[in-house]
Structure 1
Amino acid sequence: MAAVNLGVVTEAEWAGDASGRSGIDKRPVDGPVSLLAEGVAGDFIGERAHHGGPDKAVYAYAEEDAAWWSAEIGRAIRSGGFGENLTTYAVDVTGAVIGEQWEIGTALLQVTMPRTPCTTFAGFWGMPDLIRRFTVRATPGAYLRVLREGEVGAGDPVEVVERPTHGVTIGEVFRATSLEPELLPRLLDAEDLPEPIREKARRRLTRPL
């Protein structure tokens, strides 16, 4: 793992929190960090209605995908620049299967769902068209549950210890809910996908043409 990042309090007009504060600005830290069932110890989250909680306890983004964005927009993006807690390398985050389990340090995590871009993210980067560009690129990063609380640190390897056979990936879920509705039936095969997303897929599939 390239880095573990914690959010600092940022006050800005674009912050999603009603108080005008956001934790999207995450910075690399030294030493081990505790991953807990409700989130990352020491991480600031401004808008808890949409961030944090068991199904979004940890957010991971791939260093390789960040490098693509850096080249695309012509500026350096440091670890934590996507608001991620874990900056990975040599891990196919977009190709991660919903429900697969990652062992990192002493913690055990489970891939749950992709990140959905928001206006806070666009404001943080100062790019009004970022939501559209992020959606088209379709490398959203992955949220994870904490199945076993533990400590992780930069340099810890990410070991995939279990992978469901249904094959529904983070990338497929993101595309199904944003770009390619024909993929929606696939989401019902992923039992570990959070129920609100599965229910949304069911409603859209039963909607009259």
Structure 2
Amino acid sequence: MKYRGEELVTGIVKTPVSSLLHLSKLGLEGDGQADLTVHGGVDKALCVYPEEHYAYWEEKRGQRIEPVTFGENLTVRGMLEQDVCIGDIYAIGDALVQVSQPRQPCHKLAKRMDWPQAALYVQETGYTGYYFRVLQEGKISQTSPIKLVRRDEHGITLKYANHTKYHDKKNLEAARKLAGLEVLSESWKQSFLKRVAELEA
């Protein structure tokens, strides 16, 4: 991707496909991540973004936003951050996936949209999208229905996790709750363990 005349190595630029693709523990066939220190891995196999948010961003930006601009592997409907819980398990095609963490926007989203404040706005709104880990590999396609198999017993929504991380930073009880959540991704768990230590010091 070119950004202001310079070549930027990134996996955020994607195009919709209709073919049947294999979903492995590390991601979707044909997909890739440029910086594996912060992207990819078993906890971030599949990036998901709710379609409903596009209308908000188009109004805020004042222009049409192309599909998959947020670099998502799946654009979904009816699965917003306030309704989806960390640890929820879904069936997609013949694959089984589990919600692992909210998506944490980075500078490449801002460059993809040529909008310097984009990552900050995403953080502030909580319209982050999220990641799935893959529990059972399988084939999925654009038309594969997504079915909730099991709601996580702790009932901790992505919205709650986002709010705690970015807005309620002094809430020790919330930080402890998230740090102790076994199904939360390792990177987010570590960030909340660090916060707990700082708040208890």
TM-score (norm 2): 0.90
Deviating more after overlay: 105-114 vs 147-156: 147-156
Aligned length: 197
Cα RMSD of the aligned pairs, angstroms, is 2.0
Moved over 4 A (4+): 11-15
CA distance in 2 between partners of 1:195 and 1:14 (Å): 36
1:20: Cα distance to partner? Answer: 3.5
- Quick one: which amino acid aligns to residue 194 of structure 2? R
- Quick one: which amino acid aligns to residue 152 of structure 1? I
CA 1:46/1:55 → structure 2, altered by over 3 Å: closer, same or farther? Answer: same
* 1:66 partner SS: helix
Task: Give the equivalent residue in structure 2 for 1:190.
Answer: 181
Task: Give the equivalent residue in structure 2 for 1:115.
Answer: 103
CA distance in 2 between partners of 1:174 and 1:13 (Å): 31
Q: Does 1:56 align with 2:47?
A: no
CA deviation string 1:92-125 (max 9, x = no partner): 3443111111101111100000111111111111
CA deviation string 1:38-79 (max 9, x = no partner): 111101321111111100000000101122212221222232
Q: Does 1:180 align with 2:168?
A: yes
CA 1:13/1:106 → structure 2, altered by over 3 Å: closer, same or farther? Answer: farther
Correspondent of 2:132 among 144, 157, 164: 144
* 1:21 partner SS: coil
Provide structure 2 residue ranges, at least 5 long, that are not aligned to the other structure: none
Task: Give the equivalent residue in structure 1 for 2:35.
Answer: 47
Deviating more after overlay: 198-207 vs 114-123: 198-207
CA 1:105/1:93 → structure 2, altered by over 3 Å: closer, same or farther? Answer: farther
Provide structure 1 residue ranges, at least 5 long, that are not aligned to the other structure: 1-9
Q: Is the 8 A contact 1:24 1:124 kept in 2?
A: yes
CA 1:151/1:79 → structure 2, altered by over 3 Å: closer, same or farther? Answer: farther
* 1:27 partner SS: coil
Q: Is the 8 A contact 2:98 2:135 kept in 1?
A: yes
